[in-house]
Structure 1
């Protein structure tokens, strides 16, 4: 997530399939490029929907990072296990959104009253992986779903239909354009904090009388006659945003300018045709809006 609470693609790769080997290769490169060492591992947070082979790869390559799991996918897994219905769904989301341990315990008590087996199934998933009440206090983002991945998938639909080299070129052009446009937009911002963050705070200020943690903090700041925006973490400042987008993706020379080599051309990976027509977008669950 960038300082304006929007998607910022860091790395992408093309692989034969989702498995431990592919994820381990990808994470090892990401670890090297970001300079993640043993000391700083626990400062990084990864959220996913438990893709095939991903968790074993994390345990090998980045065993100490903080892992979160998408609550939307968590509920989908609950349904697959036989626990479904609006009451269970609403209670799960309430527990996920709870910001204090006591509120979380109350939501889980309600879950136990609704369905003791569902409570037991959910008890196997540590709340630090899906409930705000148990998130690490060093985290500067409290998202519960991995919608950013779905946004990226939607961005590259057309590119995925093209051959390998054309696909990579389309992705490079797409990201180059996006980074440049975002920097241009930010050059016109006049505030200190990024606009999407300002909107979120303005919404919380309307309900500051409710005294959940963020709203309680806002009231305390008001009592001191201070500006709420002065208490926003610097990671959400326009200055930080401009640093993030300060290094764009430069244009590249075309195939005619590529260096020549006498080495044997690499062969493509072995193709394994999958049954049915390949889908472009993620299949939606029965509980999701079309």
Structure 2
């Protein structure tokens, strides 16, 4: 991310974008070649076309797909079509889409007629990005200071960029060699996993490379021209996998010699050689007489706290199931629907119904914790006052050495039938046993309800 300019506007209108692009042209002139990648804002596209007439206008593919999925569904060929470097492969993918839905061609021609595919990019511009996520990186970098007033916000941005450039200058002082170390690591990682490529040498600087993973495709690599028929080397100025497969077969050949000068350490140092001048605080600024009274703009502001983070779409990682705000997404999630969760799975042996720290896991080695006996074991009958029947029940429960069931308790109170006479004999035999020889029962075991 290399910041060039920033401005403050109240809303994204065509007039404000024209003013910003005009000021940007005063700062950077109009270098050639130049490419400007914008989102789906029509006012921004018109401003770039009017101010930078000779620039290549690109459109962010992510914003295009956000509008595409609202009208068409089930087209997985759009992403490979946008990422390919070859025009033949692009036409093959788009032909499949146009056969399924002919109206896609008219929609792209009317609403998204800018360059969003890599095969149409100018190879002289060594940038193959199909999205403008770099702008989102800058937005995330300054999201904590957006609430500051305009003057303090501008001063804080200047300070952050000043520190950033100072840090990059110190990094450049420690760099050695011709190519940046980050590019070397990328090329070293790309040299792994080239077993699907077969090199058929034709000369010292040119060869054929057979790709056995994609229908036995063949590509021609010319090292002295830094070209490959896959067109990736021309767009990125870094050797593609076909060129790396050929370079690694050569002796005494350095991969860095085939990397463009834009990735050199010298260019890196030249980009951050300028010094952003430090400034004093507002109390030491010189007073300037303004011929008119400048007041704050009357911008429209919505009710509630302003949102800082961008709402992620359904196709992004960590996004919601739709382009809803946080409040609407939470309301839609809990709109009369209950959350149903499946049984938990133990990671030790894969059985369901318990976790790895549970006593149910046979591989854990823990036991179920025993509860302590209750202090007050006499359970009062609910919603019942002190009556002679209740006193008789408590007396039987306290004086009986054995287990008293509900049916036996009803018989002793005179509520049972003659069929329970054998229980009386059993109770008399138990009561004839001395208390010292009988098993000591806890108060909890005196009452058993069956």
TM score, norm. by length of structure 2: 0.57
1:145 aligns with 131
Is 2:86–2:119's contact at 8 Å kept on the other side of the alignment?
yes
**Residue of structure 1 equivalent to 2:184:** 198
Question: Are the counterparts in 2 of residues 205 and 215 from structure 1 also a CA contact under 8 Å?
Answer: yes
SS of 2:57's equivalent in the other structure is: strand
Q: CA offsets per residue over residues 214-248 of structure 1, 9 Å max, x none?
A: 22233344455432211111111111001101113
Match of 1:111 among 97, 101, 124: 97
Asked whether 1:215 is paired with 2:204, we answer no
Cα separation, 2, equivalents of 1:27 and 1:287: 31
In the TM superposition, what is the alpha-carbon distance from 1:258 to its structure 2 partner? 0.8
- Compare CA radii of gyration and give the structure with the larger one: 2
Q: What SS does structure 1 have at the residue aligned with 2:36?
A: strand
Per the TM alignment, residue 63 of structure 1 is displaced from its structure 2 partner at its CA by: 1.8
- For normalisation by structure 1, the TM-score amounts to 0.86
Q: Please give the alpha-carbon distance, in whole angstroms, between the structure 1 residues aligned to 2:157 and 2:35.
A: 25
Q: Once structures 1 and 2 are overlaid, which stretch shifts more, 196-205 or 247-256?
A: 196-205
| Distance apart, 1:157 and its partner CA | 0.5
Q: In structure 2, what is the equivalent of residue 3 of structure 1?
A: none
Cα drift, residue 52 of structure 1:
4.7
Q: Please, which moves more after superposition, 225-234 or 96-105?
A: 225-234
Alpha-carbon distance between aligned partners in 2 of 1:283 and 1:29, rounded to the nearest angstrom: 30
Task: Say which structure is richer in helix.
Answer: 1
Provide the alpha-carbon RMSD of the alignment. 2.2
Residues in 1 aligned to 2:177 and 2:27: alpha-carbon distance in whole angstroms: 32
Q: 2:27 aligns to what SS in structure 1? A: helix
For this pair of structures, how many residues does the alignment match?
275
State the match for 1:11 in structure 2: 5
Contact 1:48-1:70 within 8 A present in 2 as well: yes
**Contiguous gaps of at least 5 residues in structure 2:** 198-210, 212-218, 220-229, 232-239, 319-450
Task: From the superposition, tell whether residues 84 and 278 of structure 1 become closer, same or farther in structure 2 (CA, over 3 Å).
Answer: farther
Question: How far apart in 2 are the matches of 1:97 and 1:138?
Answer: 18
Task: Please say if residues 19 and 52 of structure 1, whose CA atoms lie closer than 8 Å, have aligned partners that are also in contact.
Answer: no
Among 232, 242, 263, which residue is 1:236 paired with?
263
1:181 offset after TM fit, Å?
Answer: 0.9
**TM-superposed deviation, 1:131:** 1.2
Structure 1 position 198, deviation (Å): 2.1
Does 2:70 align with 1:44?
no
Single out whichever of 189-198 and 242-251 deviates more from structure 2.
189-198
Match of 2:17 in 1: 23
Decide whether aligned partners of structure 1 residues 257 and 265 sit closer, same or farther in structure 2, where only a CA change above 3 A counts.
farther
When structure 1 is superposed on structure 2, of 48-57 and 133-142 the one drifting more is: 48-57
Structure 2 CA distance for aligned equivalents of residues 118 and 252 of structure 1: 54
Who is 2:296 aligned against? 268
Q: Secondary structure at the match of 1:138?
A: coil
Partners of 1:70 and 1:129 lie apart in 2 by 9
- Deviation track 1:164-194 (CA, whole Å, cap 9, x = no partner) reads 1111111111111111112212222233212
For residues 116 and 192 of structure 1, the distance between their equivalents in structure 2, rounded to whole angstroms, comes to 50
SS of equivalent to 1:206: coil
Task: Encode CA deviations 1:40-70: one digit per residue, 9 max, x unaligned.
Answer: 45x1111121335101112211122101111
Matching residue of 2:308: 280
- For the 8 Å contact 1:192–1:238, the answer to whether it is kept is yes
The gaps in structure 1 that reach 5 residues or longer are: 1-6
Which of 133, 156, 163 lines up with 1:177 in the alignment? 163
Give SS of 1:129's match. coil
- Does the C-alpha gap of structure 1 residues 122 and 205 become closer, same or farther in structure 2, counting only changes over 3 Å? farther
Q: Could you tell me whether the CA contact under 8 Å between 1:47 and 1:68 is conserved in 2?
A: yes
In the other structure, the counterpart of 1:4 is: none
